[in-house]
Structure 1
Amino acid sequence: MARKDHYYNKAKQEGYRARSAYKLKQLDSETGLFGPGNTVVDLGAAPGGWLQVASEKVGDHGKVVGVDLQRIRDIDHHNVETVRGDMTEDDTKEKLKDIVGEQGADAVVSDMAPNMTGEYSLDHARSIYLARQAFEVAQELLATGGDFAVKVFDGQDLADFRADMEPEFQYVRSIRPDASRDSSSEQYLVGKHFLTAPVRKGDEVEVEIVDVGSEGDGIAKVEDFTVFVPGTETGETPLVRITDVKPRFAFAERVDD
């Protein structure tokens, strides 16, 4: 039996609106996109297969919001809400922000693909364009530590897009789900643990050590963001280089010795 037949039939049997539901299931299984009580935004959500999966994963106390230019038939889950509109327009983004709330989204996902022309370089370029649009929206909606998953087609512009994603997350993975068709060049980039810190790895900044932590590292603040600097004492103002950034704190080394 052909792979596409297997997943198509499986979706029909299990009540999913699209075979792509199994792609999201694998992405979640491998990267832990969703947890109970999470808030999830699905960009380009029609016909709703990914909404169904996310709804199951976040449970009764979670929230799933889907947006698409096309109408999405109602989904029989009380934790799903849909918005019809262009995700890049201000009105639509404001609606999303209102629904998501001030705490932000725990995950933003996108399975959007361009209308295929059969000209590979053009289809690839359009897929990266859509992925970049989704990335921009995700940056506005994600909470600190949130995750982002987006479909892309392999090609010459993919490396640059991934390079733009990587500084904004703790790490980025590339996954090709089993449910992807053999003939497809699609893959998914998954950015884990969105960084909202005012510093990035490699930055050099002068800081003031305001305290010393229990492990003996100096503690500095950059716009209320904590930076740990080994080998420093309270009251020092060293020049430091950021060596690692986590969602809620960073590590640095002094460079003015």
Structure 2
Amino acid sequence: MARKDDYYNRAKQEGYRSRAAYKLKQLNEESHLVERGDTVVDLGAAPGGWLQVAAELAGDEGTVVGVDLQRIKDIDGVETVRGDMTDEDVRTDLVERVGEADVVLSDMAPNMTGEYNLDHARSVHLARQAFETSMAVLAPGGDFVAKVFDGPDLADLKAAVEREFRYVREVRPEASRKESSELYLVAKRRLTAPVREGDELDVEIQDVGSEGDGIAKVEGFTLFVPDTEAGETVTVEVTDIKARFGFAERVE
């Protein structure tokens, strides 16, 4: 039996609304996305296969909200918002419902034309819209997942996502069809720092740490800068960002 038939039949037997449910299961097994008690937002959620899995993973203590232009049939323990995720009113409604989400998911795909470059570009556009929406609702340290078709525009999208998260991976679940070019960008641990790697800025060295590096503050965020002294104002380039501090090199 072909793999695609196996997942389709399993979904029917196990009560999932789509075979895509197994993609989220596999993504979660590999990347540890949803935990019990989490708040999860699923963008473009119809018909609801991912919502069913998210509700199982988050449990009764969690909150799961799906957004789609289409009506989603009721799922126990799941809220739905009918509307366009790019609409400001819909985003405001979403924020009011969830506060801050621990995970934002998107399994959206464009209506297929059969023209590879066009379908790829449209998938990147949808993933970028999902990413922008995630920035409105995702909590610091939260995770983001979006489907996209592989191709030349992927690199720019991935670079934009990488600036906002600790790390980003490309994952191809086993449940994806063999002939498909789809993959998932899995972004972990949203950054909260006011600066990003590669930024250049002027900072005042306020102190020197125990390892001899200068210490600068940017909106309360600590940057360690080697070869500097307290009282100096220097131009630096940010080289690495951690959860609570970062590193920068002096620019001569």
Given the two structures, how large is their TM-score scaled by the length of structure 1? 0.90
Quote how far apart the aligned CAs of 1:137 are: 0.7
Structure 2 gap ranges (5+) = none
Structure-2 residue corresponding to 1:18: 18
**How many angstroms apart in 1 are the aligned matches of 2:251 and 2:151?**
39
Letter of the 1:83 counterpart? V
SS at match of 2:8: helix
**How many angstroms apart in 1 are the aligned matches of 2:247 and 2:59?**
36
1:226 pairs with one of 219, 222, 231: 222
**How many angstroms apart in 1 are the aligned matches of 2:171 and 2:28?**
11
**How many angstroms apart in 2 are the aligned matches of 1:52 and 1:212?**
52
The alignment status of 1:181 with 2:155, answered yes or no, reads no
Structure-1 residue corresponding to 2:87: 89
Quote how far apart the aligned CAs of 1:15 are: 2.0
**How many angstroms apart in 2 are the aligned matches of 1:51 and 1:71?**
13
When residues 59 and 227 of structure 1 are mapped into structure 2, their CA distance, relative to the original with a 3 A threshold, is farther
Structure-2 residue corresponding to 1:57: 57
Deviates more, 1:44-53 or 1:242-251: 242-251
**How many angstroms apart in 1 are the aligned matches of 2:211 and 2:9?**
56
Count of matched residue pairs:
252
Q: Please tell me whether the aligned partners of residues 36 and 62 of structure 1 are also in contact (alpha carbons under 8 angstroms).
A: yes
Quote how far apart the aligned CAs of 1:123 are: 1.4
Cα offsets for 1:144-199 (capped at 9, x unmatched): 22111101112222222222222222221101110011121111111122223221
SS at match of 1:227: strand
SS at match of 1:238: strand
**How many angstroms apart in 2 are the aligned matches of 1:214 and 1:75?**
55
Letter of the 2:205 counterpart? I
The alignment status of 1:134 with 2:144, answered yes or no, reads no
When residues 228 and 22 of structure 1 are mapped into structure 2, their CA distance, relative to the original with a 3 A threshold, is same
Cα offsets for 1:80-119 (capped at 9, x unmatched): 2110111011110110010121xx2211110001111222
Structure 1 gap ranges (5+) = none
- Root-mean-square deviation (CA, aligned residues, Å) is 1.9
Q: How does 1:207-218 map to 2 (within 5 A)?
A: 207-212=203-208, 217-218=213-214
When residues 22 and 208 of structure 1 are mapped into structure 2, their CA distance, relative to the original with a 3 A threshold, is same
Q: How does 1:27-66 map to 2 (within 5 A)?
A: 27-66=27-66
**How many angstroms apart in 2 are the aligned matches of 1:218 and 1:178?**
48
Given the two structures, how large is their TM-score scaled by the length of structure 2? 0.92
**How many angstroms apart in 2 are the aligned matches of 1:210 and 1:125?**
47
**How many angstroms apart in 1 are the aligned matches of 2:13 and 2:156?**
40
